[in-house]
Amino acid sequence: MTTPAPKSTPGDMSSFNILHGFVEGLVRGMRSSFLADADYHHLTQCETLDDVKLNLSETDYGDALADMNTLIPTGLQKAAVQKLVTEFQYLRTQSIEPLATFLDFITYEYMIENVMLLLKGTLSGRDINELIAQCHPLGMFKESTMRSIPTFESTPRGYQDLYQTVLVDTPVGPYFSLFLNETAARGEVSNVLEEVEIEIIKSSLIKYWIEDFAKFVDCLGGETATIMGDLLKVRADTNAINITLNSFGTPLNEPAMRASDRKRLYPALGHLYPAGTSMLGDVGDEDELGRVLELFPQYSSIWNVHAAGGSDGRSIDDAFYERDVQMLELAFEGQMHFGAFYAYVKLKEQEIRNLVWISECILQQQKEEIHKFVPVFSFNAPWRAGSKKSH
């Protein structure tokens, strides 16, 4: 008679290090690869992109940029993303269940982004090779699958064929199936522009992914459920706020479509759910949205950044990024949970955005704008600077 494997949750001291200790050690070691405050200081002092490349040669990006003769922002972004993908795939090959599935869940978001990029690109008649080159490497399917996605019509029947022929065998197939079933159950004929319909599909798929991911981490239990659960709640709230804000001036903001179409795009979780998302479904302009968010302290300050009209040089996206970086950094502080893997990917994405922003400012000679980025693990971050002042 064989002894059954011990049942434990990620975060259980009795088995976590046996099962996942090596991979967790890797990702915590990778934390040292983030650019330091001194690196950002040197980069912002650069006058040319050659200077940027020279400064980055002394960082963890040195090898990734070594073969690049001339540095351009798009080339820098591509090399940095590919470096992240290589690191992520190494972590994935070293992992076992349930961490392996957790890491797969991270990639599903990029798969959805790629599918929608291909569908939206073909609407505007762009070349398939150009579109595939823009797809995120973490969300790639087989090339035959990627090339077949844009061949379907942007109609309810075309989406049905796309699912049954291509997406049914992909990890994001179940989300597409949920969207088709929900649309069929409502029995409504689409009365919005194709471009708007694509955005509705994308928001629906992301909603299903967030809900599915949250359900998975909740089943894992332990610290993973606590830390990742909160990260996904905030992600769901961010989506709900952005969907509402971006709907103003589009058919989605028409009174008839607020309840029927826009409201169903909000994820069924988060700090705003259910009272806040119910109120968001009824707002028709920015003033009404602001009044709803004032009821939620964690979002009222973010909304005030937007209401100020960028007077301090920040947009609402910048405020979201700052809040996300703070939460993701905190995910590294605990031990024996999977949140650090998600945080690593998202913080590296922020670092890549920073590098692209700095290089674009230098290229366009907009040095006065160069400091408008959100550094990662910075000793000068507002939440750290504030704590230092209070002691």
Identify whether the C-beta of residue 72 lies closer than 8 Å to the C-beta of residue 49: yes
Confidence check: pLDDT of 66 > 70: yes
SS (H, E, C) the chain: CCCCCCCCCCCCCCCHHHHHHHHHHHHHHHHHHCCCHHHHHHHHCCCCHHHHHHHHCCCCCHHHHCCCCCCCHHHHHHHHHHHHHHHHHHHHHCCCCCHHHHHHHHHHHHHHHHHHHHHHHHHCCCCHHHHHHHCCHHHCCCHHHHHHHHHCCCCHHHHHHHHHHCHHHCCCHHHHHHHHHHHHHHCCCCCCCHHHHHHHHHHHHHHHHHHHHHHHHHHHCHHHHHHHHHHHHHHHHHHHHHHHHHHCCCHHHCHHHHHHHHHHHCCCCCCCCCHHHHHHCCCCCHHHHHHHHCCCHHHHHHHHHHHCCCCCCCCHHHHHHHHHHHHHHHHCCCCCCCHHHHHHHHHHHHHHHHHHHHHHHHHCCCHHHCCCCCCCCCCCCHHHHHHHHHC
> pLDDT digit string (tens) for 211-255?
999 999 999 998 999 999 999 999 999 999 999 999 998 888 888
Q: What pLDDT is recorded for position 4?
A: 45
Mean pLDDT of 57-76: 93
Mean pLDDT of 160-187: 87
Whose structure tokens read 């990639």? Answer: 107
Rounded distance between C-alpha atoms, residue 110 and residue 373, angstroms = 23
Confidence check: pLDDT of 385 > 90: no
More confident residue, 181 or 311: 181
Rounded distance between C-alpha atoms, residue 328 and residue 324, angstroms = 6
Rounded distance between C-alpha atoms, residue 34 and residue 376, angstroms = 7
* pLDDT confidence band for 193 (50 / 70 / 90): very low
Q: What pLDDT is recorded for position 8?
A: 55
Neighbours of 123 (CB within 10 A): 14
Query: Helices 222-247 and 194-220 meet at what angle, rounded to 10?
Result: 160
Q: What pLDDT is recorded for position 390?
A: 43
Q: What pLDDT is recorded for position 153?
A: 80
Rounded distance between C-alpha atoms, residue 362 and residue 91, angstroms = 34
Residue 282 three-state SS: coil
Rounded distance between C-alpha atoms, residue 26 and residue 373, angstroms = 27
Token pair for 199: 């955005």
Strand segments, DSSP code E, in 215-371 are none
Average pLDDT, rounded, for the chain: 89
Residues 6+ apart with CB under 8 A from 299: 237, 241, 271, 272, 293
Confidence check: pLDDT of 389 > 80: no
Residues 6+ apart with CB under 8 A from 300: 293, 294
Q: What pLDDT is recorded for position 6?
A: 46
Range with top average pLDDT, 181-195, 205-219, 296-310: 205-219
Mean pLDDT of 62-67: 92
Confidence check: pLDDT of 65 > 60: yes
